[in-house]
Amino acid sequence: MSVRLSLLVALVAAPVAAQQAEWERPEVIREGAEPMHATFAGFETKQAALRGDVRRSRYHLSLDGDWRMKLAPDPEARPKGFEQPGYDVSGWGTMRVPGILQAEGHGGPVFVGSGYPFPRNQPLIDHSVNEVASYRRDVVVPAHFAGRRMLLTIGAAGAAYYLWVNGQRVGYSEDSKLPAEFDVTRQMHVGRNTVAIELYRYADGSYLEDQDFWRVNGIERSVSLYAAPATHIRDLDVSAGLDAGYRDGRLKLGVAVGGAAGGVRVRATVLDGKRAVLVREGAPDAQRMVTLAGDIAGVRAWSAEAPSLYTLLVELLDARGRVIEATSRRIGFRTVEIAGGEVRVNGRRIMIRGVNRHEHDPHTIRIMSDATLRRDLELMKAGNVNALRLSHYPNDERIYALADEVGLYLMDEADIESHGYLSLFQQTGDESVLLGHRPEWKAAHLDRVQRMVERDKNHPSVIFWSLGNETGTGPNFEAAAKWVKARDPSRLVSFLGHSMSGWRHPVNDYVDIFAPMYDDIEKIADYAVRPEFKQPLILCEYAHAMGNSLGNFQDYWDTIRAHRKLQGGFIWDWVDQTLIRKDAAGRDYWAQGPDFDNKGGDDSPVGDGVIRSDRTPDPEYHEMAKVYAPIGFERMAPGYVVVNRHDHVDLSGYTLDWAMLEDGVEVARGNIPVPVVAPGGRAPLQLTPPAARDPSAERRLVLRARAKAGAIPLVDTGHVVGWEQFALTGPRELPAVAQGVAPVDGGAVLRLAAGGAVLEVDKVSGLLRGYARGGRMLLTGGAPDFWRAPTDNDIGANVPTSHAMWKQFSEHRRVDAVRSEGDAIVVMHDMGVGSVKMETRWTMAADGTARGDVTFTPIRDDLPDPLRVGLQFRTPPALDRVRWYGRGPHETYVDRRTSGLIAQWGGTLAEQYHGYARPQESGTKQDVRWIVLEDEGGRGLKLTGGQPLAVNALAFPYADLAMQPAGKAHSSDIRPHGDGTLLVDAAQAGVGGDTGWSLDGRAHMQYRVPLKPIRWSFTLGAAR
């Protein structure tokens, strides 16, 4: 590192004088707040506690709704003294709470993939970009709150804020993703009160909040007031495990009593439904802690597959046994451990079929409605997801309770990411720049980890604690890991710290799991077989789902399932971070960073989920669901077996059935007796496929497993959980043209005509002027085509530059010959002045069926691989319906086709393009035997392959999908107009997706188009 750079780093990291504001002092994290406690609510009666509805409680008051708000462009312009009740805010606007300022038109959203939207100069913040929102509202405290302890909770707000009540300063807090509770008993009184919050967009804590997401802010979770009794329950610590035999439940409960001293007792009751299965009672000790314990014989253990919950009722009683305060929560009995080098839950090895998820909504940005939150979990359960990494911060408390209820393993992650300083370390090699190495940042690191653990410690769904993401490493993280292990030995600790692991396996020995990010298949396989690596491997991020992606996902899981040391991973990620905005024509489109002012942001694409931000599944979602399926089928002579990939449950909650397809149409179906199959086991099926109805047909057997009622929470009865298809015969062969008609010279064209059909080849271009039947034009063009509209992965891998010659070859052709040769019209195209040759031979049978035989011949051996090898045709707008026999119903690619059932499918032409955030290649179908384009009367064109083809039919010119500069192309640009497109490919490259920003994002070699001669054929005929 140069002397100049060393000096700069030293200046950047210099201690800040104490006169700096709290929000520029990393050692100042919180002032005036209560210690963090677990999520629970106090109630005045046992019955109210069991209902758990704070809206019906006399002592809970929501402060959500409209607040008066004024936004200042910087701290110096903020309205000073606004916290005083006499300050006139009547002319201010309003702001919703919870709410994101930028979503409500106050300032602009900024997206940063890595780095900060302000100069990197920790712990200082550039004041010129640090907007300050001043919030005010009046709160009427009812008379019955008198004499009680008033606790005001701000669920989450960021990046930093001050709180006043009636003009008196109460406190200060940082960390945008965890609540802060303030005792306002002294400041607040019965009657009207003024609550004021001064919220800073950025603070020193923002250096720890460098996640790849929208840099927006607001009071993003609820604000509430609770009037607790003078003596009240301050915290609950529930340890609900299993005995050594994993049969009996072992409960240990710690109840912290707060407030005024007094003679109180605590009674704890565990309920199974309405039946009490355990009751314990005790008095506080000298530290005002009540510790209770007890066993439950034959307890129903909790797991993601069987999320059995009990109700814990805790009552604080006075000396006469009357309830002072009560609360309840759902608890689950389970163990988490490393045993035999494996992560085990309840003594059984588990597989993590996970996703990462940001809290994101296309309208409200970070505010999640109950409906959206529940929809996420419905889609996860239906998509065979069993684990969720809360990337990269503690989430809204609601998702933890839902995960407990429906069965999801959670990796709870501290709100720590300092990617900007990790990048500086990667540039300089100087570890001292990492915030995890800096003593003045230790308290902030520990605070974020400790408060997360204290808030979420009672949820059975949380089985991993994560110390953060893309931070680098350092002693601050080692100290945090040590604290977590001492505080909560019942769970495991995960932490990578690095952005990517490079050509090594950088194991952190102070955590329990090796959690690499985007390691490819070869790397994880190497780790699995190396005996010196003891930790189980669970990919914290992999299978980067940006745009049209998620290639070779089946290959990942073939490898993961082959090695016991590999226990799955978390896809990046679940939901696109697009926002919905309107274009000039008033149409909605998926907006990204460059679509806004984005000051301080970058051009990172944000459509990296397996579902869109409105919760519409992407095609990738179906591939994920297929590969993640916990039930599979295999062919094993002389029959078939079912494979139970569950970790804890047998197959009694499922039904099995079969279907026989002939030429893609179901001709028979039936049920299969469900054998007894233990978790992780397999068993043969009692199944004899029926004889063929049509001996010449292509026959495929489809086996399916469906959920019974209640087998999987949030999943409908009959939902297909796992399925497989087996080829019993090959595709039908394309019949040869018995006797072709002779070409006719038509002057500017060569013509084939028979059976009411005419095919004309232009002598100058070598392309079809048209293929018509009954005087109706069905198809034109047929240009050699080697290019595709770049996917996000193509762009990230620099394919538009490295492979640009294939675009040139597709758009600029030399016609070497257009001639008659026997009964054929032969067209010879040359691309790249002798680089590539393409020959197309057109013939026609007496019934008007035309045949194309195409030969692709690369001459140069130093060209990169083509993205596709095929022909591009245009189709008339009237042919707006499509049917095909191949993989479907969604788009498929050679490395993402496992989820495509080979059958007959159909729909409108407009439906075939999937609206990715940025227009790109979409709509291709693999293994197509034939495709029909027709009008509403069923008249049109049928194209049949001589071998299975990759075909793409779209309702607009393919050029509409061409790559544009960032922010210049939008999803709303793509709509039916003009001629349609028909792409007929012998092969197209896969979509890739190991990453989205490097060569690793390209399709694996086996899924690329080889640079060698390719021959294929097809026929053109009538639709019916």
Structure tokens belonging to residue 957: 């010119």
Q: How far apart are the first and last CA of the chain?
A: 73
Residue 291 one-letter amino acid: T
Structure tokens belonging to residue 535: 């930790």
Strand, coil or helix: what is 939? Answer: coil
DSSP state of 618: P
With 0-12 / 13-18 / 19 or more C-beta atoms within 10 angstroms meaning exposed / middle / buried, residue 580 is middle
d(CA 269, CA 281): 9
Collect all residues with Cβ–Cβ distance below 8 Å to 779 and sequence separation of at least 6: 768, 770, 771, 873, 874, 875, 941, 982, 1020
d(CA 408, CA 368): 18
Task: Enumerate helices (H) and strands (E) in the chain, giving the number of each.
Answer: 13, 58
470 is annotated as an active-site residue: yes
Whether residue 392 has a cis bond before it, omega within 30° of 0? yes
- Partner residues linked to 618 by β-bridges: none
- Please report which helix (H) or strand (E) contains residue 974, including its range: none
Whether residue 716 has a cis bond before it, omega within 30° of 0? no
- Please report which helix (H) or strand (E) contains residue 482, including its range: helix 475-487
d(CA 915, CA 591): 12
For residues 221 and 98, the answer to whether their CB atoms sit within 8 Å is yes
Angle at the Cα of 254 from the Cα atoms of 253 and 258, rounded to 5 degrees: 145
CA 610 vs CA 147, 299, 526, 632, 686: distances in Å: 52, 37, 28, 22, 36
d(CA 137, CA 197): 9
H helices of 843-901, where?
none
Collect all residues with Cβ–Cβ distance below 8 Å to 914 and sequence separation of at least 6: 548, 618, 619, 890, 891, 922, 923
**Which strand ranges, in their side-by-side order, compose the sheet holding 289-296?**
231-242, 249-259, 289-296
Which one of the listed residues 24, 337, 470, 921 is annotated catalytic? 470
d(CA 228, CA 183): 10
d(CA 465, CA 480): 11
Which one of the listed residues 83, 198, 305, 541 is annotated catalytic? 541
Please list the active-site residues: 470, 541
